[in-house]
C-alpha cells in the first residue's frame, strides 16, 4: 500500500501570540508523527519579518520570512493574540490571498480568525474566534458567520478559539485524515482524555446531547459536525470511526432512529435553519455552507424537514 504524502503545515506567527495556543496546535502533529513512526506532518514556522518571533511570554520560534516562504503548503494557520482586530499587515494579507487562490486551506487560532476576516478570506464561511474578540468583531461586521464554539471547520477554513482548544481541533483533523485510532493515541499521549466537541464547552457533548455511549457513534457524530459543508460518504465515516459500514448503520438506527445519511442530512439542515434565522446570508450561500450544492434539492429537503421554505422562515411566516 502506498503511504500518503507528508502534509506540509505552515504556522504564521503574529508577534505577541499566546505560546500555549501555538504549542497546543503544533504538539499534536509532532506526536502524530512520533506515534505513526513516519512524517505525517511537516511543520514550518513563518512570520512577516522572519527570525525569532516572540510569544507573549518572551519565548518564541525561529521563523521564515513570508517573501521566502513560497506557497507549497497543504494548510496554513495564523496564530495571533493581543489585539488582532487592530492588526494590519498588507504583506501578510497578500500572502494569505495568494495561498487561498492556489487552493491552500487556511486556519486561524485564537485571534488569527480576525486576520483572515480582515483579508476577506472568511466570507460566507462559518468561523470562531477567542471569546475576548467575539463581540467586537461581530459589531464591526454583523454579517460575519461567527459561532461561539471551541472550533469550526468549514470546508477549507479551520478556526479555533485558542488556549487549549487547538488540542481538540487537531484531534478532529487527525481523526479525519489519519483515523480515530491514531487521534485517540495522540490525545492519550498528552493525557488529554477529556476531549471536547467543536461546540462551545458550555454545551453538552455528543454523548449527553444524543444519549449515546458507543465510541464509534460519538466519533461519527464528531466527524459529521466537523464536515457540515463537505459531507463525507458512509464508507469514509465508518472507516474513520473504526468500524464497518453495516455495523455503523445498525448502531445508528438502533440508537438514533435513523440511517447514517438521514441523520447526517438532518444535522446539516438544522445548521441551515440556524443560519437562515440568525443571518441574512443568501439562501444559495447557506445551501453551499451546509453541503447542498444543488439549491433545488436544498429547498426540497428544507421544506420536508421544517414544513416551510427557508425564505418563509426568514420572513417569519
Portion of the chain with pLDDT greater than 70, in percent: 95
pLDDT computed for residue 280 by the predictor? 73
10 Å CB burial of residue 287 (0-12, 13-18, 19+) is buried
- The pLDDT tens digits for 224-255 are 988 888 899 999 999 999 999 999 999 999 99
- Segment among 22-26, 106-110, 189-193, 251-255 with least mean pLDDT: 189-193
- Segment among 26-30, 77-81, 105-109, 310-314 with least mean pLDDT: 310-314
The cell for 184 is: 485517540
Report the SS3 class of residue 110: strand
Rounded CA-CA distance 63/157 in Å is 23
10 Å CB burial of residue 166 (0-12, 13-18, 19+) is buried
Rounded CA-CA distance 298/228 in Å is 14
Q: Strands 157-160 and 151-154: what pairing? A: antiparallel
- The pLDDT tens digits for 77-122 are 999 998 888 899 999 999 999 999 999 999 999 999 999 999 999 9
pLDDT computed for residue 72 by the predictor? 95
Rounded CA-CA distance 183/193 in Å is 11
Report the SS3 class of residue 213: coil
Q: Which segments of the chain are extended strands (E)?
A: 7-13, 41-47, 51-54, 60-65, 75-80, 105-110, 126-127, 145-146, 151-154, 157-160
Rounded CA-CA distance 32/182 in Å is 7
Short-list 48, 41, 42, CA closest to 79: 48
Reported confidence tier of residue 222, pLDDT bands at 50, 70, 90: confident
Say if residues 100 and 33 touch (Cβ distance below 8 Å).
no
Angle at 168 between CA 112 and CA 161, to 5 degrees: 30
Tally of CB atoms within 10 A around 155: 16
Does residue 2 register a pLDDT over 70?
no
- Segment among 128-142, 197-211, 219-233 with least mean pLDDT: 197-211
Rounded CA-CA distance 265/305 in Å is 10
Does residue 197 register a pLDDT over 90?
no
Q: Transcribe 2-71 into DSSP letters.
A: PPPPPEEEEEEE-TT--HHHHHHHHHHHHHHHHHHTS-SEEEEEEESS-EEEE-TTS-EEEEEEGGGT-S
Q: What is the pTM of this model?
A: 0.73
The CATH number corresponding to 204-312 among 3.20.20.70, 1.10.10.60, 1.10.3720.10, 3.30.1300.30 equals: 1.10.10.60
Q: What are the boundaries of each domain within the chain? A: 7-169, 204-312
CATH of domain 7-169: 3.40.50.880
Amino acid at each position: 500500500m502506498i503511504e500518503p504524502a507528508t502534509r506540509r503545515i505552515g504556522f504564521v506567527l503574529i508577534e505577541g501570540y499566546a505560546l500555549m495556543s501555538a504549542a497546543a496546535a503544533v504538539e499534536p502533529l509532532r506526536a502524530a508523527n512520533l506515534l505513526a513512526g513516519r512524517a505525517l506532518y511537516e511543520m514550518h514556522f513563518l512570520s512577516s519579518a522572519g527570525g525569532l518571533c516572540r510569544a507573549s511570554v518572551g519565548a518564541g520560534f525561529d521563523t521564515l520570512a513570508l517573501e521566502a516562504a513560497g506557497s507549497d503548503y497543504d494548510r496554513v494557520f495564523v496564530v495571533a493574540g493581543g489585539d488582532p482586530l487592530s492588526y494590519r499587515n498588507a504583506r501578510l494579507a497578500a500572502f494569505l490571498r495568494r495561498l487561498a487562490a492556489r487552493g491552500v486551506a487556511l486556519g486561524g487560532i485564537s485571534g488569527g480568525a480576525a486576520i483572515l476576516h480582515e483579508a476577506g478570506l472568511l466570507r460566507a464561511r462559518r468561523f470562531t474566534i477567542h471569546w475576548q474578540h467575539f463581540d467586537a468583531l461581530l459589531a464591526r461586521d454583523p454579517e460575519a458567520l461567527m459561532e461561539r464554539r471551541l472550533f469550526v471547520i468549514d470546508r477549507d477554513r479551520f478556526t479555533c478559539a485558542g488556549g487549549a482548544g487547538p488540542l481538540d481541533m487537531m484531534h478532529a483533523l487527525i481523526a479525519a485524515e489519519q483515523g480515530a485510532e491514531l487521534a485517540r493515541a495522540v490525545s492519550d499521549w498528552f493525557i488529554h482524555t477529556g476531549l471536547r466537541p467543536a461546540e462551545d464547552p458550555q454545551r453538552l457533548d455528543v454523548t449527553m446531547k444524543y444519549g449515546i455511549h458507543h465510541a464509534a457513534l460519538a466519533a461519527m457524530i464528531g466527524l459529521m459536525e466537523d464536515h457540515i459543508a463537505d459531507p463525507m460518504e458512509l464508507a469514509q465515516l465508518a472507516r474513520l470511526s473504526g468500524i464497518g459500514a453495516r455495523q455503523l448503520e445498525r448502531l445508528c438506527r438502533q440508537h438514533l432512529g435513523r440511517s447514517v445519511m438521514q441523520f447526517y442530512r438532518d444535522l446539516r439542515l438544522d445548521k441551515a435553519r440556524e443560519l437562515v434565522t440568525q443571518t441574512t446570508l443568501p439562501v444559495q450561500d447557506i445551501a453551499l455552507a451546509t453541503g447542498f450544492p444543488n439549491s433545488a434539492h436544498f429547498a426540497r429537503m428544507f421544506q420536508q424537514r421544517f414544513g416551510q421554505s427557508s425564505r418563509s422562515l426568514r420572513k417569519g411566516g
